[in-house]
Structure 1
Amino acid sequence: MENLQNITIRSASVGTMDNNVYVLTDKDTGAQVLIDAADDFAAIQRLLAEGAADARVPAKLELVITTHSHWDHVRALAETAAATGARTAAGTEDIGDIEVPTVLALEHGDRVPFGGAELEALKLRGHTPGSVALLYREPDAPAHLFTGDSLFPGGLGNTQKDPERFASLYRDVFERIFEYLPDDTVVHPGHGAGTTLGAERPHLAEWKERGW
């Protein structure tokens, strides 16, 4: 658990693909956002309950954001949406590949409020056409970036050795993340351990040269 000034971030690794699911809770209002209902609704429920304990008022899951449409990131989406009544959101181009109806179509630069907090959608095209990262800016502290499968420690997401898809993803990650955010930004990926932009920045040229 990460206890920030205005929100808490709780996470769990779920399912056979070790997907990371994240619950953000606004302390003052109890508003919650779930990023990637990947699998294991019972584990998601535990995260929501633990996050609710962080809030000063009763908590409620308001929104489930899917970073991209791949099957391993949506296995618990239908159950979560049905049980909680939360709205759903995803990048516009990926909505047609998600079986659960999506209420909110995200475009690059969209601001997504929850309680007194806010996430910014950053479109990172390449892993899927509509992949999005979600940026939370912490007052007077490092920002937090939830990158789905577009950026990991050590490289970019899988583009199936397609040069055009890799070029698109590299361009978006370079321009919309590394040129936009400082080195102390904390990266929370869709699988595995986190990192910072500062730790990854020296390797950008290497990633571009190798093409993955």
Structure 2
Amino acid sequence: MIRCERLVVGYLDTNCWIIAPDLPGRPPALIVDPGDDPDYLAAAAASYDVVGLLITHAHADHVLALQPLAESLNAPIIGHPAEREVWTAELDHLAKHGYLDAGTATADLVATGNAPRPNPDVPLWNGHLDQEIQTTTTLKLGPLDVDIIPTPGHSPGSLTVHAAGHLFTGDTLFPGGPGLTSPVYPLTDFAAIMTSVRNLLTYPEHTTIHPGHGPDTTVGTERPYVETWQARGW
């Protein structure tokens, strides 16, 4: 019923997803989180009729291939308008430090001489959204219903995608707990992300969770630990 193709890209091994109905030929598809390596992603996308590019949030490791793909595929960009503030903060960090903010990985990347910097030959996202998502919205990919769900916390406009028993959670939910929130990152909110996580874990226990980095998990695997995460505060 569904195709889920994972493509790992960029300096933080971001999971980019191509979601499509399991149909012959070139089915309609949504690309989620085109984080880097636009030529690689464009080659993978050639097997599909890409009808949209969706960002779960606007941290740089999730959007560095967004602008070139939008132009080469003539595909609309879909996201939450609150993420423009996040992207502005990312660009401000780049201007101030000469490299991008990679969260808790930043110090190690800089120390090892791998400070994350965008490819100067690849255009950066201009902040434009062709479709703004602020409430739960259903997109149709042929016979496949794709629900786009606001899940704030890791960033104010974070989104999760649900389709046919699969949750694509960006950096909202991972194996072992919610994504990064910290007073060091002023656009994050632990209380908000826990509300989002609790909502996601109301899906059936067999629902697969595909996070923005690393391996998959399931709702049933993670649900028993919600109160542990709440108590530890991260």
TM range (shorter): 0.7 to 0.9
1:115-165 deviations in whole A, cap 9, x for unaligned? 22221111111110000000002xxxxx00000000000010111247981
Task: Confirm or deny: 8 A CA contact 1:10 1:47 kept in the other structure.
Answer: no
2-structure distance, mates of 1:76, 1:100: 13
Task: Confirm or deny: 8 A CA contact 2:20 2:144 kept in the other structure.
Answer: no
- Is residue 66 from structure 1 mapped to residue 55 from structure 2 by the alignment? yes
Which runs of structure 2 are paired with 1:72-83 in the superposition (5 Å)? 72-83=61-72
- Is residue 107 from structure 1 mapped to residue 131 from structure 2 by the alignment? no
SS at match of 1:89: strand
2-structure distance, mates of 1:48, 1:120: 21
1:12-62 deviations in whole A, cap 9, x for unaligned? 11111100000112326711110011000122123223xx2xxxxxx4111
For the pair shown, which has the larger CA radius of gyration, 1 or 2? 2
The residue type equivalent to 1:64 in the other structure is: L
Paired position in structure 2 for 1:150? 172
- Is residue 9 from structure 1 mapped to residue 10 from structure 2 by the alignment? no
Paired position in structure 1 for 2:43? 46
Q: TM-score, normalised by structure 2?
A: 0.77
The residue type equivalent to 1:20 in the other structure is: N
Task: Confirm or deny: 8 A CA contact 1:107 1:121 kept in the other structure.
Answer: no
Select which of 74, 78, 92 maps to 1:89. Answer: 78
SS at match of 2:189: helix
SS at match of 1:92: coil
% of aligned pairs identical?
Answer: 31
Paired position in structure 2 for 1:116? 143
- Structure 2: give runs of 5+ residues left out of the alignment: 88-124
Paired position in structure 1 for 2:192? 168
Displacement of 1:195: 0.4
Select which of 27, 31, 36 maps to 2:33. Answer: 36
2-structure distance, mates of 1:209, 1:193: 24
Q: TM-score, normalised by structure 1?
A: 0.85
1:167-210 deviations in whole A, cap 9, x for unaligned? 11101210x2112x111000010000010011111111110000
The residue type equivalent to 2:193 in the other structure is: L
- Structure 1: give runs of 5+ residues left out of the alignment: 53-58, 138-142
SS at match of 1:209: helix
Count of residues in correspondence between the two structures: 192
The residue type equivalent to 2:179 in the other structure is: G
Q: What is the root-mean-square deviation of aligned Cα atoms in Å?
A: 1.8
Q: Which protein is richer in strand relative to its size?
A: 1
1-structure distance, mates of 2:173, 2:50: 26
